[in-house]
């Protein structure tokens, strides 16, 4: 198992990559590069190993092979098991993620500014003081995207970000991801079942089945 976090010409590079679940490989022999400015859509049927691959990249599952990734990583999970009764506001989430200054002593002005700027980029500034548990699925995903973008990551991992979002929410989310990639030197790997996501935002599609990469196609 080799991992490198030095500056790279690619945002992500996997060679002979395997993901292990209870000691058994569920993803095998993956060779994959994600370049800066690229949005790679990882598609495939349920159980193909897409989410397992992403979970290994964020350190949730053990893996073997070679992984070169940047030190700065943004991650938007498929769904956050968030207690709707929780008091945490959107601003609180940013403070928890960005600062070690205890939240019970208040939010630092710098963190508040970072939160405002990032939420503005994804069209969610109005949500800053709202409780995260009361937001709709689409609003939550945009907030998580905004959070993943601070500090600016070199690689952004999105795990089925459209799950549980209505059509308007998906539209806004696509727009937000598109804008980020236009303006930043960033690579994006997005796991998706949604053909519209592939069509609207991806620059390349990679298809997986039975834990292996089957094909890769550059999209117009």
Partner 1 sequence: MMASLLEIVHYGFFLRALLAILLIAPLLGALGCLVLETRMTFFSDAVGHAGLAGIALGTLLGMQDPLLALVGFSILLAFAVTGSRRQAGLSSDAAIGIFQSTAVALGVVLLSRHGGFARFSRYLVGDLLSITDSELLRLGILAALFLPVWALLFNRMLLSSLGEALARSRGHSPWRIQLGLAVLVAVVVAVSLQWVGVLVIQALIVLPAATARNLARSVRQWFWLSIAVGTGSGIAGLFGSVIFSTATGATVVLFAFLAFLGSLGLKKWRSCRP
Tokens representing 197 are 């996501």
C-alpha 78/C-alpha 207 separation (Å) is: 19
What are the angstrom distances between the C-alpha of 60 and each of 35, 53, 120, 168, 215? 23, 10, 30, 31, 26
120: enclosing H helix or E strand:
helix 109-121
| Closest distance to partner 1 from the beta carbon of 64 (Å) | 19
Site map for partner 1, 82-111, x if CB under 8 A? xx-xxxxx-xxx-xxx-xxxxxxxxx----
| Residue 21 engages partner 1 in binding (rule: CB under 8 A) | no
Compute how many residues bind partner 1; rule: CB under 8 A. Answer: 36
| Residue 1 engages partner 1 in binding (rule: CB under 8 A) | no
C-alpha 73/C-alpha 163 separation (Å) is: 21
Residue 124: what are its φ and ψ, rounded to 5°?
-130, 25
| Residue 59 engages partner 1 in binding (rule: CB under 8 A) | yes
- Residue list 138-197, contact with partner 1 (CB under 8 A): 144, 148, 157
Residue closer to partner 1 by CB (options 24, 85) is: 85
C-alpha 214/C-alpha 220 separation (Å) is: 20
| Closest distance to partner 1 from the beta carbon of 85 (Å) | 6
Residue closer to partner 1 by CB (options 92, 209) is: 92
Binding site for partner 1 (CB under 8 A): 55, 58-60, 73-75, 77, 80-83, 85-89, 91-93, 95-97, 99-107, 131, 144, 148, 157
């Amino acid at each position: 198992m080799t991992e490198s976090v030095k500056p790279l010409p690619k945002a992500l590079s996997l060679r002979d990559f395997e993901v292990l679940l209870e000691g058994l490989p569920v993803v095998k022999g993956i060779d994959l590069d994600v370049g800066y400015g690229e949005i790679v859509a990882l598609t495939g049927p349920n159980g193909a190993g897409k989410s397992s691959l992403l979970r290994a990249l964020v350190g949730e599952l053990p893996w073997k092979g070679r992984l070169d990734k940047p030190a700065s990583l943004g991650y938007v999970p498929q769904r956050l098991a968030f207690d709707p009764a929780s008091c945490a506001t959107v601003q609180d989430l940013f403070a928890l993620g960005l600062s070690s200054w205890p939240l019970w002593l208040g939010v630092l002005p710098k963190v508040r500014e970072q939160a405002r700027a990032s939420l503005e980029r994804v069209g969610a500034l109005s949500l800053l003081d709202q409780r995260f548990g009361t937001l709709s699925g689409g609003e939550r995903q945009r907030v998580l995207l905004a959070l993943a973008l601070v500090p600016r990551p070199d690689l952004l991992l999105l795990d089925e970000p459209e799950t549980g979002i209505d059509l308007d929410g998906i539209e806004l989310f696509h727009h937000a991801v598109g804008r980020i990639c236009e303006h930043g030197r960033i690579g994006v790997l997005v796991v998706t079942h949604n053909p519209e996501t592939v069509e609207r935002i991806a620059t390349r599609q990679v298809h997986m089945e039975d834990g292996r990469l089957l094909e890769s196609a550059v999209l117009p």
